[in-house]
């Protein structure tokens, strides 16, 4: 049952990113919404779950933007796997730690995709600046979302977002 819910979150994030991305963009920076779920899955499950969620979300992102098909899958898989491996060394109960992990992951994802897509030639600094801004924007959105979910958990007594298999 958990995998179905996780797949729905990834799909919803990818669809929202692809359809609403330009409406929620700030100065060209768009939050990478599926990455928020990839990070949560990877640091509450294991390497395989992180890798599969990164691959699945990357596949959806690549299907929605047929430019350099495979770039998001590759970078998403690497980010998910790396977080799955590192999860035992992270203190995920702390919102600030989760924010830093998401920030670093978002930067690696955004800049990694730009590097792959710019393999044909030097694209100039603009895509890298936008990728950096998208990483920061993703971290801010993710931390705000996780804060709201943690708050709702405390108010309504829901099962914790971070109560995954450790």
| Interatomic CA distance for residues 45 and 88, integer angstroms | 10
Whole-model pTM: value is 0.84
Residue range 112-165, pLDDT digits in tens: 888 888 876 666 677 888 889 999 999 999 999 988 888 888 888 776 555 544
Tell me the per-residue pLDDT of 31-40, one tens digit each, with 9 for 90 and over: 888 899 899 8
Evaluate whether 71 touches 116 at the Cβ level (below 8 Å): yes
pLDDT of residue 118: 81
Q: How far apart are the first and last CA of the chain?
A: 18
Measured distance CA(161)–CA(44) in Å, rounded: 9
Residues 21-78: pLDDT tens digits? 888 888 888 888 889 989 988 888 888 888 999 999 888 888 887 677 888 889 999 9
Q: Tell me: the pLDDT tens digits for 147-162?
A: 888 888 888 877 655 5
Quote the tokens at residue 50.
Answer: 């992180």
Residue 3, both tokens? 């995998």
Report, at the CATH architecture level, how domain 2-156 is classified: Orthogonal Bundle (1.10)
Q: Write down the pLDDT at residue 123.
A: 65
- The H or E element that residue 147 is part of is helix 126-156
């Amino acid at each position: 049952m958990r995998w179905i819910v996780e797949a729905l979150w990834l799909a919803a994030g990818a669809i929202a990113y692809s359809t609403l991305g330009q409406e929620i963009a700030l100065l060209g920076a768009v939050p990478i919404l599926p990455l928020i779920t990839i990070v949560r899955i990877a640091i509450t499950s294991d390497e395989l779950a992180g890798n599969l969620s990164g691959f699945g979300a990357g596949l959806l992102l690549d299907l929605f933007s047929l430019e350099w098909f495979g770039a998001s899958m590759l970078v998403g898989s690497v980010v998910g796997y790396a977080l799955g491996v590192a999860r035992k060394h992270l203190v995920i109960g702390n919102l600030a730690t989760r924010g830093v992990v998401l920030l670093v992951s978002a930067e690696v994802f955004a800049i990694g995709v730009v590097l792959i897509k710019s393999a044909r030639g030097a694209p100039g600094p603009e895509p890298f600046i936008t990728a950096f801004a998208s990483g920061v924007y993703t971290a801010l959105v993710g931390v705000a979302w996780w804060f709201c979910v943690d708050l709702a958990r405390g108010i309504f007594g829901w099962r914790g977002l971070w109560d995954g298999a450790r």
